[in-house]
Amino acid sequence: MNEFDKTVIRLYNEEDQSTYEIAKKLDTYPNKIRRTLKKHKIPLKDRSEAQKIALRAGRSSHPTEGKKRSIEERVKISQSLVDYWGDMSEKERKRRSKQAKENWNSMSASQKESMRSKGITAIRAAAKEGSKLEKFFEKRLSEAGYRVQIHKLLIPAENLEIDLYIPDLQAIIEVDGPSHFLPIWGQDKLDKQINADLRKTGTLLTKGYVVIRVKSLGQESVAKKEQMIDSVISTLKSIEKKKPNRKDRFIEVE
């Protein structure tokens, strides 16, 4: 083995340098380095492995680390994912669904119990502190200049708590998850939930509040959330100009 080949192998294996770095150091071109490695049956690293090595060695920086994407960028990425799923064939959807079921069935009892436990904890936290969508609305409404109260016990005598309250406009925003309009826990539970929502809305309207109900499937994309908050803010701006007539104070957003 000549000195050139020995140097190439040493730099590649022992110093974890890329074919491009070695080529630059030896004043040649990357393909020659790759041919040399192949000649001596040295496995070539794939792009992912090479990038990890370069990051560890500090020879390159992570493409996204420390960078905050703008809302426009996140919406664009999210919309591309929505389009991807929307264009997926029925056959591929079924394959993925089958794979998800197989993954669940392959889990141990302890793994399943851990996931259930985390889910219950998340539901309890959402009930106490507000869901992710509620917190998203709270943050964006505050940024838009609105004074927002989350999980406000508005009518203590009736133990009536609402999701989001804009006191300056006497406007209430209720974020309804899928259990408010889909029979997730069975039709009886859904019927009771619908009746409870109707009674709550009726009470609030009777007392002169504007009620905005936002229908959420629980897994909205960034693009969908932006669309929802835009609709809510547009509605609030309309209320600022003129409070709607009593018959128009119930507004639904999807």
The residue type at 163: D
pLDDT of residue 173: 95
pLDDT of residue 218: 72
- Quote the crossing angle between the two packed helices 132-143 and 109-129, to the nearest 10°: 40
Cα-Cα end-to-end distance for the chain? 70
pLDDT of residue 52: 65
**pLDDT per residue as tens, the chain (254 positions):** 889 998 988 888 877 788 888 888 898 888 888 889 888 888 887 666 666 666 666 665 555 555 555 655 555 544 554 455 556 677 776 776 677 667 667 777 887 777 666 656 655 555 554 578 889 999 999 999 999 999 888 888 778 889 999 999 999 999 988 777 777 677 888 888 888 888 888 888 888 899 999 988 777 788 888 889 999 999 999 999 999 988 888 998 87
pLDDT of residue 77: 47
pLDDT of residue 100: 64
pTM of the model as a whole: 0.54
pLDDT of residue 82: 47
Q: Is 132 exposed, middle or buried (0-12, 13-18, 19+ CB in 10 A)?
A: middle
pLDDT of residue 127: 55
Report d(CA 197, CA 151) in Å as an integer.
16
Report d(CA 22, CA 29) in Å as an integer.
9
Q: Please, what's the b/e burial string for 134-156 (b: 16 or more CB within 10 A of its CB; e: otherwise)? A: bebbbebbeeeebebebbeebee
Q: Which residues have a Cβ under 8 Å from the Cβ of 223 and sit 6 or more positions away?
A: 75, 78, 79, 82
pLDDT of residue 241: 92
